[in-house]
Structure 1
Amino acid sequence: MSDTLTLHLQDLYIYPVKSLGGIRLQEATIEARGLRHDRRWLIVNEHNQFMTQRQTSGMALLQVAPAHNGFLITHRTRPDLLPLFVPFEARPERSLFVTIWDDFVFAWRGELAADEWLSKALGCTCRLVYMSDMAMRSVDPALNPADAVVSFADAYPFLLVGQGSLDELNSRLTEPVPMNRFRPNLVFSGGLAHAEDEWQEFRIGELTFRAVAACDRCVVTTIDQITGQKNPETLRTLASYRTLGGKVMFGQNVTGPGYGRLRIGDGLTVVSYK
């Protein structure tokens, strides 16, 4: 029972396009698949297979900013590419099936102009696709209630990380890294390092969440989200003290209530432990 300090929600993030930059929010609405607008868009290659920074580190250079009824994508080092506006939702005129991990998912196509912009930005043929509410992508039923669904996130609706966990990592690094290396939705403060590992059920405000599995980490943690450059120190250092079963763990995958609203500053209470 390591969380002896007052806990509260410090940061809220959504990532409208999987593996592109995030948007920090003051408050957010929860829906069945996670935070509203989180990872509902996905970039796929010419074979309709999902793309991430794992294989295409240049995606880190594509930053996302809020706009009216949508968001803007800009390239950090390509001023010749004017900002691309993407609405929060697509229209169903064109559809296709895409592959993300082991899942085959029905999706709607974005605008051709977005495909062209992203293909120029990333130097390869790619498409932008949207997950509508019609699409069914299930969360692992072995760990979660039946009929639970997820967006284009890797596997779960939410990712939770404690600020204390990042502080512990940074105390071991030559050059500290920001939280954006780990792409969380929910960041809490007030707890000790890796307190979230021990939690099972917890409440943020009046809403109940469940920590179901530790998050195993990959090469994305080594990519500077400003420059797109890789430095293996982050993952190597994490591996030196956070390896379990051959995987490097940091943060918790979480399921939520399917509805409600969160605000920065909301109190966090642990209900039960693993």
Structure 2
Amino acid sequence: MTQKATLTELNVYPLKGGGGTPLTTAELTPRGLRHDREFMLVTPEGRFLSQRDHAEMARLRPSYDGEVLTVEVAGAETLVHKATDTGDVLDVMVHRHECQGVDQGDDPARWFSALLGTDCRLVRFTGHRPTSRGGGETMFADSYPLLVLSAESLADLNARLDEPLPMNRFRPSLVVEGLGPYGEDSVRLLRVGGCVIEMMKACARCVVTTTDQDTGERGREPLRTLASYRTIDRGIRFGQNALPRTTGELALGDPVEILETK
């Protein structure tokens, strides 16, 4: 294939349900971008917390350097937590998927519980969690370690909306410019820089997309508009879940090449 495009955004989400950290470079590992969804909040029963039920999580601004997790949020003291792998190992659930996390102790648990008004614990991923298809692996992501979205797909959606929405509503890992509107739907293999990524399935969209990622406030869009033209297989689809097939360094401006279409 000769069509080429460019990588224009890289985003990592160290805390599941929290805001994204934009990057200029990132290491692509077998589990996705390094440190993506490495931490998660869980109920006392081990079920994950997300923006679906706690929209205020959108206001959390986590960053993680491999040793210290920092979480900033307007109007509250910043959490600075040195990650540990020696806490209790808890059985936890991401949707219907069982996995494990290392409890990060009482201090972050108190901080998040007070902030969100619900009893919760912070855990760090441990062990191995295979993806349901494709032979890949992931940490605490919903299903697949990568989400790829075309810049032109958002532009097409915004042309249908009364008020345009930013890309962060859709929480992509990689944003590519040059595929055309919904061009990601027809691609099976992409080379991004020196890495190969396989598109696995269209991403089903939920109420998180209606959540302002700065304020936590919710509206009706974009789900109402997307439902009118992007309802596929009984779900509202926007963007593609993907798996790394080779690993390495990614950087903004990397060339993106279609290797194989569906």
TM-score, L = length of structure 2: 0.95
Say which SS state the counterpart of residue 131 (structure 1) adopts. strand
Shift of residue 9 of structure 1?
0.5
Counterpart-to-counterpart distance in 2, 1:199 and 1:258: 17
- Residues 219, 118 of structure 1: alpha-carbon distance in 2 compared, 3 angstrom cutoff: same
Counterpart-to-counterpart distance in 2, 1:156 and 1:117: 29
Q: How does 1:86-165 map to 2 (within 5 A)?
A: 86-87=81-82, 89-132=83-126, 135-140=127-132, 143-145=133-135, 148-165=136-153
Letter in 2 for 1:51: L
Gaps of 5+ in 1: none
Residue of structure 1 in register with 2:79 after alignment: 84
Q: How does 1:32-47 map to 2 (within 5 A)?
A: 32-47=30-45
Shift of residue 109 of structure 1?
0.6
Q: How big is each residue's C-alpha offset from its partner over 1:73-132, in whole Å with a ceiling of 9 and x where there is no partner?
A: 1222xx2x3100134x43223221111111121210113110000001100100100002
Counterpart-to-counterpart distance in 2, 1:165 and 1:252: 11
Counterpart-to-counterpart distance in 1, 2:166 and 2:16: 19
Letter in 1 for 2:120: C
Residue of structure 2 in register with 1:50 after alignment: 48
Letter in 2 for 1:162: S
Residue of structure 1 in register with 2:198 after alignment: 210
Residue of structure 2 in register with 1:241 after alignment: 229
Q: Of 5, 15, 18, which residue of structure 2 is paired with 1:17?
A: 15
Say which SS state the counterpart of residue 109 (structure 2) adopts. helix
Counterpart-to-counterpart distance in 1, 2:69 and 2:106: 17
Would you say how many aligned residue pairs link Structure 1 and Structure 2? Answer: 262
Shift of residue 175 of structure 1?
1.1
Say which SS state the counterpart of residue 180 (structure 2) adopts. coil
Percent identity reads 36
Letter in 2 for 1:160: V
Q: Of 67, 70, 87, which residue of structure 1 is paired with 2:68?
A: 70
Q: Which runs of 4+ in 1 moved over 6 A?
A: none
- Residues 191, 259 of structure 1: alpha-carbon distance in 2 compared, 3 angstrom cutoff: closer
Residue 225 of structure 1 pairs with residue 213 of structure 2: yes
Superposition RMSD in Å: 1.7
After the TM superposition, which of the residue ranges 153-162 and 249-258 deviates more from structure 2?
249-258
Letter in 2 for 1:179: M
Counterpart-to-counterpart distance in 2, 1:172 and 1:66: 37
Counterpart-to-counterpart distance in 1, 2:211 and 2:61: 14
Counterpart-to-counterpart distance in 1, 2:201 and 2:230: 14
- Residues 67, 28 of structure 1: alpha-carbon distance in 2 compared, 3 angstrom cutoff: closer
Shift of residue 184 of structure 1?
0.6
TM-score, L = length of structure 1: 0.91
Say which SS state the counterpart of residue 222 (structure 2) adopts. helix
Counterpart-to-counterpart distance in 1, 2:14 and 2:93: 18
Say which SS state the counterpart of residue 160 (structure 2) adopts. coil
On the 8 A contact 1:202/1:209 being kept in 2, the answer is yes
After the TM superposition, which of the residue ranges 185-194 and 59-68 deviates more from structure 2?
59-68
Residue 186 of structure 1 pairs with residue 180 of structure 2: no
On the 8 A contact 1:14/1:35 being kept in 2, the answer is yes
